[in-house]
C-alpha cells in the first residue's frame, strides 16, 4: 500500500507539500490533477471511508527512483515546471510496524488523539490527532507528526518553525486509542511562542486574573522553579522585607550553608532511622534550596534532568560512579 | 438551562445513573419514558445537533426540592418503585463559568479532548473527552469528569473505583479545544490497576519486548526512580559485581558521604563561579544520590513534590524558613 506523501519542485525546494489531497469517494482508479501542473494516475486500494487521508497505489509511477520506503516520481508537467511526486509506502520494510498500527483503535475518521509530552519535564506540549500515516512517520522520522483536521494534511510539528519535537518513545493507552509522543522539543512548541499550548488557567480566568498574564500548566517542581525565578526578577528596587527565597538569592554564603545543612539533615534521616515523612520533608528542603542555587546560576531544572537522562540512558551514571570509586582521586 | 443529570431510586441508592438519555432529534416538548417506570415531561431548550448529551428544561418538575444547582424531582411511578430524577443546571450561579464554557471550541459532537495529568509528577494519567457538562461538573466538584462516547453518559473518574482525580486547576490550550485536568489521583487511574493508562511502549513492542512486562510512560526523573527501585529489588541473591546504585543501596555510610560530598560540590559551583554546565552536572549528582536515599527509605519523589506543593501553595516554605532563620535553635 502506498500513499502520496508530498510533492515538490526539485528546482524550488521551498515548494514542498505533504498529502495535499482529499478523496471523498472510493476510487478504483483515478487520474488526479494536482495544482494544474501535475498529473498522476493512481489506484486506490483501501476503503476511503475509514481513512482520514486517501491512500494511493501507484499504477504508473513514471520515471523515478526508490529510496527506503519512499518512491520519487518525476511527473509530466503541463507548464514550465517539473514537479516530483513522493510516494511513501505505509507498509514499510517492517511488518511489525504494520501490525502495530493495525492494533490501534482508529476512530471512524481514522484518527487517534496524540499528545506530545516533554520527556524531561513532563509538560504536555500540545495535543493533536494522528492517523496511521502520522504515527508511521513519527516512528520512522522520530519527529512528532500529526494529521491536521482543518487542513486535511499530515504535518510534522516544527516543519515551519524548526521547533521539532524529537520523539524518544511512543506510548499507547490501555484502549489503544490514545497516543503519547514522549520527546524533547527543540524550542517553544506553541505557535504563540509559549513553551506549551496550555497557558490558560480556567481558575485564573474565573477569578478574572486574565490580565495578570498567562500561566503555564506547571507541575509542582516547575511551579516552584517558576516562583523562585519570579522572586529573582523582583529583587531589584524592593524596599519591603524580603522573602526567604529573596534572602537566599541575595546571599550566596547563606544559600550554600543552607544547602549543606539540608543535605546533612537528609542523611541524618537515614542514619538515625527517622520516619519516612521526615525524609520526604528534608528532601523537599534540599530540593528547594538547590533550586534556588540553580536560579542563581540561571540553570533550568530541565537541563539537570536532561543530564540525568543522557547519563542514565547510557548507564553512564552507574558506570562513571563505579570508575570514580575505584579511583577516588579523579573526583 | 437544565439537563437531566441522573436518576436514582431513593430506597436503593445503588440504582443511580447519570445522563442515561440520548435524544437524536430536537424536541420542543417531550414526554420521556425512562426504564418503563418513570415519566417526566421535559422541554429541550438548546439545539441537540451541537450537544453530546441532550439538555432538558424542566417544565413540570413534579414534587421535589432544590439544593445548589441540583434539582431533585420525585416522579410518578407506574410500578412499585418511586424514582427520583436529578436535574442540574449548567447555568450555575456563576455567569463567568457559562461565558468560559462558551469560549471552548467544542467539536461537532459537543466534545473536546480532556487530558488528566498528575500535578506532582506530570504523568499523563488518562485521556478522555469532555462536553460542556463534564467540564462544568469538574469545575464545581473538582473531580475529573468526562463524557463517555461509548456509553453516551457523563462519568466521573473514580465513581466506581473510588480512585478520583482531585483537580487543582484546569487549563485550555491556545485553540481552546483541548483541556488539561491538572490534579492529584487518589489511586491508580487505569482500570487495569496501572498507575496510568499509558503503559505500552511502541518501541518496546517493535523490539518484541512485550513479554518483559509493561513500561509506564515515565519522564526522566521517574525513569531514574524506577531504575533505582529496580536495582533495589535485585539486591538479594546476586553474585555479580554490583552496580554503583546497588553499592550505594548496600552501604548507608557510603551513600550519605556521597550526598554530603555532592551537595558540597554543587555549592562550590556557585562559590567558585564555575560554568552552568558544571552546576547542572553537580545538581544531577545531588539528585541521583538523594534519590537512592529515598529508595532506601521507601519514599517516593512524588511524596517529596507533594510536600513542596503543599508548603508552597501556602507560601509556607518561605514563611517557615523566615521563622527558622530568626530562631535558629528551632532547626
pLDDT at A206: 87
Residue of A nearest to B244 (CA): A318
Residue A262 with chain B: CB contacts under 8 Å? 263
pLDDT at B36: 27
**A170 pLDDT higher than 70:** yes
pLDDT, greater one: A128 or B97: A128
pLDDT at A314: 54
pLDDT at B282: 98
Residue B121's contacts (CB-CB under 8 Å, 6 or more residues apart) are: A122, A219, B219, B221, B222, B301, B302, B305
Q: Grid coordinates representing B112?
A: 473536546
The pLDDT tens digits for B63-106 are: 455 554 455 555 444 444 444 555 544 445 577 888 899 899 99
Residue of A nearest to B275 (CA): A297
Residue B298 with chain A: CB contacts under 8 Å? 276
Whether A305 sits inside 8 A of B220 (CB atoms) is yes
The whole-chain average pLDDT of chain A stands at 74
Of B171, B244, B299, the CB nearest to A325: B244
pLDDT at B78: 45
Strand residues in chain B grouped as ranges (E): 2-9, 12-18, 30-34, 38-43, 57-58, 63-67, 70-75, 83-89, 112-118, 124-130, 145-148, 153-156, 165-173, 178-185, 198-201
Whether A169 sits inside 8 A of B201 (CB atoms) is yes
pLDDT at A66: 52
Q: Per mean pLDDT, which of A49-63, B130-144, B288-302 is the most reliable?
A: B288-302
Q: Cα distance from B132 to chain A (closest Cα, Å)?
A: 14
pLDDT at A122: 95
Whether B118 sits inside 8 A of A219 (CB atoms) is yes
Q: Which has the minimum average pLDDT: A4-8, A196-200, B105-109, B132-136? A: A4-8
CA separation for the pair A144, A181 (Å, rounded): 6
pLDDT at B58: 32
Q: How would residue B55 be classed by pLDDT, with cut points 50, 70 and 90?
A: very low
What is the 3 state secondary structure string of chain A? CEEEEEEEECCEEEEEEECCCCCCCCCCCEEEEECCCEEEEEECCCCHHHCCCCCEEECCCCEEEEECCEEEEEECECCCCCEEEEEEECCCCCHHHHHHHHHCCCCCCCCEEEEEEECCCCCEEEEEEECHHHHHHHHHHCECEEEECCCCEEEECCCCCCCCEEEEEEEEECCCCEEEEEEEECCCCCCCCCCCCEEEEHHHHHCCCHHHCCCCCCCHHHHHHHHHHHHHHCCCCCCCCCCHHHHHHHCHHHHHHHHHHHHHHHHHHHHCCCCHHHHHHHHHHHHHHHHHHHHHCCCCHHHHHHHHHHHHHCCHHHHHHHHHHHCHHHC
CA separation for the pair A7, B123 (Å, rounded): 39
Residue A228 with chain B: CB contacts under 8 Å? none
Residue A199 with chain B: CB contacts under 8 Å? 171, 174
pLDDT at B70: 53
**If you count them, how many residues does chain B have?**
331
pLDDT at A113: 98
Of A202, A224, A303, the CB nearest to B308: A224
pLDDT at A123: 96
Of A206, A286, A320, the CB nearest to B96: A206
Q: Which has the minimum average pLDDT: A324-328, B214-218, B268-272? A: A324-328
pLDDT at A86: 53
Residue of A nearest to B126 (CA): A173
Whether A281 sits inside 8 A of B307 (CB atoms) is yes
pLDDT at A328: 34
Q: What percent of chain A has pLDDT over 70?
A: 64
Of B206, B264, B280, the CB nearest to A97: B206
pLDDT at B234: 87
pLDDT, greater one: A284 or B242: A284
Whether B294 sits inside 8 A of A283 (CB atoms) is yes
Residues A305-309: what's their mean pLDDT? 94
Number of C-alpha atoms within 13 angstroms, CB side, residue B63? 6
Q: Which has the minimum average pLDDT: A26-35, B13-22, B175-184, B251-260? A: A26-35
Residue B288 with chain A: CB contacts under 8 Å? 308, 317
Residue B264 with chain A: CB contacts under 8 Å? 260, 263
| CB-CB contact of A226 with B314 (8 Å) | no
Residue A219's contacts (CB-CB under 8 Å, 6 or more residues apart) are: A121, A122, A123, B117, B118, B119, B120, B121, B122, B182, B305
CB count, 10 Å around CB of B140? 16
Residue A201 with chain B: CB contacts under 8 Å? 169-171
pLDDT at B276: 97
Whether A247 sits inside 8 A of B325 (CB atoms) is yes
Q: How far is CA B162 from the centre of its chain?
A: 12
**A54 pLDDT higher than 80:** no
pLDDT at A313: 77
| CB-CB contact of A201 with B181 (8 Å) | no
DSSP character at residue B84: E
Q: Which has the minimum average pLDDT: A60-69, B16-25, B94-103, B193-202? A: B16-25
Residue B290 with chain A: CB contacts under 8 Å? 263, 266, 283, 286-287
Of B127, B217, B264, the CB nearest to A113: B127
Q: What percent of chain B has pLDDT over 90?
A: 50
**A46 pLDDT higher than 50:** no
pLDDT at B153: 86
Whether B304 sits inside 8 A of A287 (CB atoms) is yes
pLDDT at B5: 43
Q: How would residue A209 be classed by pLDDT, with cut points 50, 70 and 90?
A: low
Q: Cα distance from A184 to chain B (closest Cα, Å)?
A: 11
| CB-CB contact of B124 with A124 (8 Å) | yes
The whole-chain average pLDDT of chain B stands at 74
Which uninterrupted H or E stretch holds B204?
A: helix B202-206
| CB-CB contact of A196 with A216 (8 Å) | yes
Residue A296 with chain B: CB contacts under 8 Å? 270
Residue B224 with chain A: CB contacts under 8 Å? 308-309, 312
Whether A267 sits inside 8 A of B256 (CB atoms) is yes
Q: What percent of chain B has pLDDT over 70?
A: 64
Whether B217 sits inside 8 A of A308 (CB atoms) is no
Q: Closest Cα partner for B269 from A285, A297, A253, A250?
A: A297
Q: Closest Cα partner for A244 from A231, A263, A225?
A: A231
pLDDT at B312: 82
Q: Cα distance from B288 to chain A (closest Cα, Å)?
A: 8
Whether B280 sits inside 8 A of A290 (CB atoms) is no
Whether B97 sits inside 8 A of A206 (CB atoms) is yes
Q: Above 0.85 for ipTM, yes or no? A: no
**A171 pLDDT higher than 70:** yes
Q: How would residue A85 be classed by pLDDT, with cut points 50, 70 and 90?
A: low
Whether A312 sits inside 8 A of B120 (CB atoms) is no
Q: Cα distance from B292 to chain A (closest Cα, Å)?
A: 11
The pLDDT tens digits for B168-207 are: 999 999 999 999 999 999 999 999 999 999 999 999 888 8
Interface test with A, best of B203, B217, B262 (most A CBs within 10 A): B217
Whether A322 sits inside 8 A of B244 (CB atoms) is yes
The pLDDT tens digits for A22-45 are: 333 333 223 333 332 233 333 333
pLDDT at B66: 52
Q: Residues A250, A251, A255, A261: what is their CA dihedral angle, to the nearest 10 degrees?
A: -140
* Helix pair B132-141, B95-103: axis angle to 10 deg: 140
pLDDT at B237: 67
Residues A69-86: what's their mean pLDDT? 48
Residue of B nearest to A210 (CA): B100
CA separation for the pair A132, A139 (Å, rounded): 11
Residue B273 with chain A: CB contacts under 8 Å? none
| CB-CB contact of A23 with A48 (8 Å) | yes
Of A172, A220, A247, the CB nearest to B200: A172
Interface test with A, best of B120, B199, B214, B267 (most A CBs within 10 A): B267
Amino acid at each position: 500500500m502506498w500513499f502520496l506523501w508530498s510533492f515538490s519542485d526539485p528546482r524550488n525546494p521551498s515548494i514542498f507539500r505533504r498529502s495535499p489531497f482529499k478523496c471523498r469517494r472510493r476510487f478504483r482508479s483515478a487520474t488526479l490533477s494536482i495544482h494544474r501542473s501535475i498529473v498522476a494516475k493512481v489506484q486506490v486500494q483501501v476503503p476511503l471511508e475509514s481513512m482520514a487521508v486517501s491512500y494511493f497505489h501507484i499504477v504508473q509511477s513514471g520515471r523515478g527512483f526508490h529510496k527506503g520506503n519512499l518512491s520519487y516520481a518525476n511527473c509530466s508537467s503541463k507548464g514550465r515546471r517539473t514537479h516530483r511526486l513522493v510516494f511513501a509506502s505505509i507498509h514499510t520494510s517492517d511488518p511489525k510496524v504494520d501490525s502495530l498500527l493495525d492494533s490501534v483503535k482508529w476512530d471512524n475518521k481514522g484518527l487517534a488523539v496524540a499528545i506530545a509530552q516533554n520527556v524531561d519535564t513532563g509538560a504536555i506540549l500540545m495535543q493533536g490527532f494522528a492517523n496511521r500515516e502520522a504515527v508511521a512517520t513519527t516512528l520512522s522520522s522520530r519527529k512528532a507528526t500529526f494529521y491536521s483536521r482543518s487542513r486535511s494534511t499530515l504535518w510534522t510539528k516544527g516543519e515551519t518553525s524548526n521547533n521539532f519535537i524529537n520523539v524518544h518513545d511512543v506510548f499507547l493507552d490501555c484502549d489503544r486509542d490514545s497516543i503519547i509522543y514522549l520527546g524533547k522539543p527543540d524550542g517553544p512548541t506553541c505557535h504563540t511562542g509559549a513553551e506549551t499550548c496550555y497557558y490558560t488557567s480556567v481558575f485564573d480566568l474565573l477569578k478574572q486574573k486574565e490580565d495578570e498574564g498567562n500561566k503555564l500548566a506547571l507541575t509542582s517542581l516547575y511551579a516552584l522553579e517558576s516562583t523562585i525565578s519570579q522572586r529573582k526578577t523582583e529583587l531589584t528596587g524592593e524596599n519591603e522585607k524580603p522573602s526567604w527565597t529573596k534572602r537566599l538569592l541575595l546571599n550566596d554564603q547563606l544559600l550554600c550553608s543552607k544547602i549543606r545543612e539540608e543535605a546533612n539533615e537528609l542523611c541524618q534521616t537515614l542514619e538515625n532511622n527517622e520516619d519516612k515523612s521526615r525524609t520526604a520533608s528534608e528532601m523537599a528542603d534540599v530540593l528547594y534550596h538547590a533550586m534556588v542555587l540553580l536560579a542563581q546560576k540561571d540553570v533550568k531544572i530541565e537541563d539537570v534532568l536532561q543530564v540525568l537522562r543522557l547519563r542514565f540512558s547510557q548507564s553512564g551514571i552507574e558506570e562513571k560512579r563505579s570508575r570514580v570509586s575505584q579511583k577516588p582521586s579523579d573526583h
